[in-house]
């Protein structure tokens, strides 16, 4: 096992660019997407049509922007707003009406659902107030409600399950975990593909004739893939924790989850290697399949957005969703060892099953 492991190490020592590039990519992707996509405000163009358009626009923009920190609604020309959506410069524009609204969008993206929820809430609330006031003028009623709520008869205080302050979801942290795990899967895959490369080049046969057992040949390759994948993830987490001062939670727990994820990713790569049999086919299939996993696992969107039952079923067959969930629980909600046992166990189960099938498939072609 040791010579096989060491030979792989020597190859990477001579050409470390791939690993360093992937570490850099993990950091870069987290910085770009983690800081911009979810932490800056979204601007939504709104407009009305007809003779009293200006009045409608003023009324609803004021209500839409009230107590709203994440989204800014700005009045825009109809033609310009539609053009921007058509050209993909904006995801959404809203046509405001007296008592109703229309969303103008080119595709059904996750953030559109969030905006729709916000707008729907404002229009529903206004409709309720108008029903209570019995007229379209709800300004007085609003003031009365605001005054009343300054001294409410009862207050609701929300606490976490542990009794502490409720922690809000941090998309930046989720993306940090997501991108790091995703890019590490590539490194792991390309290393596991060394098995296929050895089989095609004849090195595998040569080792087969040596006293090195087949188990040791596989162990050498897979252990090295595990080692390098885990090293990459650990390096990224440590850089974020100590150099960039991100709060990534208890390191021992996060690294344990990363280790189990690495193990199951090695197994997943072995499964693909077993199916593909040659390094060329692996290089074609693996990079095509892997980018889909974080998408269907809901890694790039807030929890709950990815609710398609087919996608969630497929996502459950891969370790990424479990790993990100466990890491987020540990980082944000202070989950302890017992609370991450379920996702960790599922990842281990994936590791055992995929490894078994992968090695079996790889060996079947050689009998």
Partner 1 sequence: MLETVKLTKSFKDKKVVDEINLYLQTGESVGLLGPNGAGKSTTISMIASLIKPTSGDVKLNGKSTIQNPSDLRKMLGVVPQEIALYEELSAYENLKFFGKAYRVEKETLEVRIQEVLDMVGLKDRQKELIKTFSGGMKRRINIAAALLHNPKILILDEPTVGIDPQSRNHILETVRELNQTQGTTVLYTSHYMEEVEQLCNRVYIMDHGKIIATGSKEELLSILSSEDTIGVQLSKRSEAFTDKIKTLPDVLQVEQTSEGLRIMAKKNHHLLSSLVHAAEKEGIQIMNYKVEIPSLEDVFLHLTGKTLRD
Tell me the β-bridge partners of 72: 43
> Minimum CB separation from partner 1 for residue 292, in Å?
31
Question: How many chain residues are in contact with partner 1, going by CB under 8 A?
Answer: 22
Give the 3-state secondary structure of residue 72. strand
CB of 207 or CB of 269, closer to partner 1: 207
CA 291 from centroid of its chain's CA atoms: 11
> Minimum CB separation from partner 1 for residue 202, in Å?
3
Pairing verdict, β 71-75 and 92-96: unpaired
> Minimum CB separation from partner 1 for residue 2, in Å?
7
> Given candidates 86, 121, 206, 364, which one binds partner 1 under the rule CB under 8 A?
206
Q: Is 17 in the site for partner 1 (CB under 8 A)?
A: no
Q: Is 14 in the site for partner 1 (CB under 8 A)?
A: yes
Binding mask 209-228 for partner 1 (x = CB under 8 A): xxxx----------------
Cα distance between residue 6 and residue 1, in whole Å: 9
> Minimum CB separation from partner 1 for residue 11, in Å?
5
CB of 9 or CB of 148, closer to partner 1: 9
Cα distance between residue 193 and residue 277, in whole Å: 9
Q: Is 364 in the site for partner 1 (CB under 8 A)?
A: no
| Sheet order of strands, 71-75 included | 71-75, 42-48, 92-96, 101-105
> Given candidates 207, 290, 320, 340, which one binds partner 1 under the rule CB under 8 A?
207
Q: Is 205 in the site for partner 1 (CB under 8 A)?
A: yes
CB of 86 or CB of 214, closer to partner 1: 214
Give the 3-state secondary structure of residue 69. coil
Cα distance between residue 228 and residue 226, in whole Å: 6
Taking every pair of Cα atoms in the chain, the longest distance, rounded to a whole number of angstroms, is 91
> Minimum CB separation from partner 1 for residue 271, in Å?
24
Pairing verdict, β 101-105 and 92-96: antiparallel
Pairing verdict, β 42-48 and 92-96: parallel
Number of other residues whose CB lies within 10 A of the CB of residue 138: 21
CB of 345 or CB of 365, closer to partner 1: 365
Q: Is 3 in the site for partner 1 (CB under 8 A)?
A: yes
Cα distance between residue 254 and residue 275, in whole Å: 31
> Minimum CB separation from partner 1 for residue 186, in Å?
19
> Minimum CB separation from partner 1 for residue 4, in Å?
8
Q: Which residues form the interface with partner 1 (CB under 8 A)?
A: 2-4, 6-7, 10-11, 14-15, 201-203, 205-212, 366-367
């Amino acid at each position: 096992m040791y010579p096989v492991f060491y030979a792989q190490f020597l190859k990477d020592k001579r050409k470390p660019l791939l690993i360093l590039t992937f570490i850099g990519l993990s950091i870069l992707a987290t910085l770009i997407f983690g800081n911009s996509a979810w932490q800056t405000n979204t601007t939504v163009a709104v407009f009305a049509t007809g003779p009293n358009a200006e009045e409608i626009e003023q009324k609803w923009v004021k209500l839409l922007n009230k107590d709203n920190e994440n989204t800014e609604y700005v009045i825009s020309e109809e033609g310009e707003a539609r053009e921007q959506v058509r050209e993909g410069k904006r995801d959404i524009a809203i046509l405001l009406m007296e008592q109703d609204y229309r969303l103008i969008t080119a595709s059904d993206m996750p953030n559109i659902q969030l905006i729709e929820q916000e707008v729907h809430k404002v229009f529903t609330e206004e409709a309720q107030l108008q029903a209570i006031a019995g007229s379209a003028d709800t300004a007085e009623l609003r003031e009365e409600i605001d005054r009343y709520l300054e001294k409410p008869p009862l207050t609701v205080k929300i606490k976490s399950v542990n009794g502490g302050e409720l922690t809000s979801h941090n998309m930046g942290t989720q993306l940090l975990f997501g991108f790091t795990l995703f890019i590490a899967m590539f490194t792991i895959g390309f290393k596991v593909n060394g098995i296929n490369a050895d089989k095609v080049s004849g090195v595998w046969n040569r080792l087969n004739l040596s006293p090195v057992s087949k188990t040791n040949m596989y162990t050498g390759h897979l252990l090295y893939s595990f080692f390098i994948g885990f090293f990459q993830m650990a390096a990224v987490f440590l850089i974020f924790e100590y150099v960039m001062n991100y709060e990534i939670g208890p390191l021992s727990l996060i690294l344990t989850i990363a280790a189990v994820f690495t193990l199951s990713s090695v197994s997943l790569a072995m499964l693909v290697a077993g199916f593909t049999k040659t390094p060329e086919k692996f290089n074609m299939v693996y990079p095509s399949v892997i980018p889909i996993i974080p998408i269907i696992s809901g890694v790039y969107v807030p929890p709950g957005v990815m609710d398609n039952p087919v996608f969630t079923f497929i996502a459950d067959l891969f370790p990424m969703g479990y790993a990100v969930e466990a890491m987020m629980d540990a980082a944000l909600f202070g989950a302890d060892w017992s609370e991450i046992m379920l996702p960790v166990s599922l990842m281990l189960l994936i590791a055992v099953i995929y490894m078994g099938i992968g090695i079996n498939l790889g060996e079947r072609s050689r009998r």
